[in-house]
């Protein structure tokens, strides 16, 4: 039941992210907080998936399965296209956020890992490519955010372990967080400017 609740929560947050995107707003960026964008190179893939979902819905409409089935397939196709675009919109409206109080490492509506600044040993730029066949998101107390084609370019080392909640509700304890930013150099500069660590 917890996984189903988490799935419903993720989908509702995805739709909320779509609304924020249409309004040109960002979530969690205020005060001294600095937005750290990520996933910029994933935009074409989300657009293609959303278009394919919409075309698929139209093609099903052309086939005659009966009015009720046709309407159901059309609604599901449009909803899946909205979800695809919503996941992309979430990467825009929910950037990573660095402030003097914490680092927030996020991915759309699926992850929001809050790391208190006094728990950060350091943030460094390291370009890494992780083999999807060998990489597990949580291994040896390291969380690899592999949402960007298994590429990471920032590493946060922690003094004390933190708990990370997976998209479907399970939790893991980690001491190292690896993630991706569109401009890792600017992210490290913002981190240092804010006196984190």
148: pLDDT strictly greater than 70: no
Which residue ranges make up each domain of the chain? 2-28+38-93, 97-193
Global pTM exceeds 0.85: no
Rounded Cα gap, residues 61 and 120, in angstroms: 53
Q: What is the pLDDT of residues 161-193, one digit of tens each?
A: 999 888 878 888 889 998 999 999 999 999 999
Q: What is the pLDDT of residues 90-131, one digit of tens each?
A: 999 999 999 999 999 998 888 899 999 999 999 999 888 776
Identify the pLDDT of residue 196.
46
Torsion angle of C-alpha atoms 129, 46, 103, 180, degrees rounded to 10: 20
Q: What is the pLDDT of residues 73-82, one digit of tens each?
A: 878 878 888 8
Query: Which CA distances in Å does 25 have to 75, 102, 109?
Result: 27, 21, 15
Answer left, alpha or beta for residue 44, where phi above 0 means left and psi between -120 and 50 means alpha: alpha
* Closest among 73, 102, 98, 91 to 37, alpha carbons compared: 91
Task: List CB contacts of 63: < 8 A, sequence separation 6 or more.
Answer: 70
Identify the pLDDT of residue 123.
94
């Amino acid at each position: 039941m917890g996984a189903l609740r988490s799935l419903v929560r993720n989908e509702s947050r995805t739709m909320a992210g779509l609304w924020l995107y249409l309004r040109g707003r960002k979530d969690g960026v205020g005060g001294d907080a600095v937005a750290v964008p990520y996933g910029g190179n994933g935009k074409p893939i989300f657009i293609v998936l959303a278009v394919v979902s919409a075309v698929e819905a139209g093609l099903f409409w052309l086939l005659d399965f009966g009015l009720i089935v046709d309407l159901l397939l059309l609604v599901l196709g449009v909803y899946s296209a909205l979800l695809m675009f919503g996941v992309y919109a979430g990467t825009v409206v929910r950037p990573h956020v660095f402030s003097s109080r914490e680092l927030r490492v996020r991915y759309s509506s699926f992850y929001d890992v809050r790391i208190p600044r006094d728990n950060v040993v350091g943030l460094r730029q390291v370009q890494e490519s992780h083999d999807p066949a060998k990489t597990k998101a949580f291994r040896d107390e390291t969380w690899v955010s592999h949402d960007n084609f298994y590429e990471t370019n920032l590493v946060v080392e922690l003094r004390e372990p933190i708990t990370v909640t997976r998209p479907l509700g399970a939790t893991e304890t980690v001491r190292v967080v690896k993630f991706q930013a569109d401009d890792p150099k600017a992210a490290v500069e913002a981190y240092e400017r804010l006196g984190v660590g």
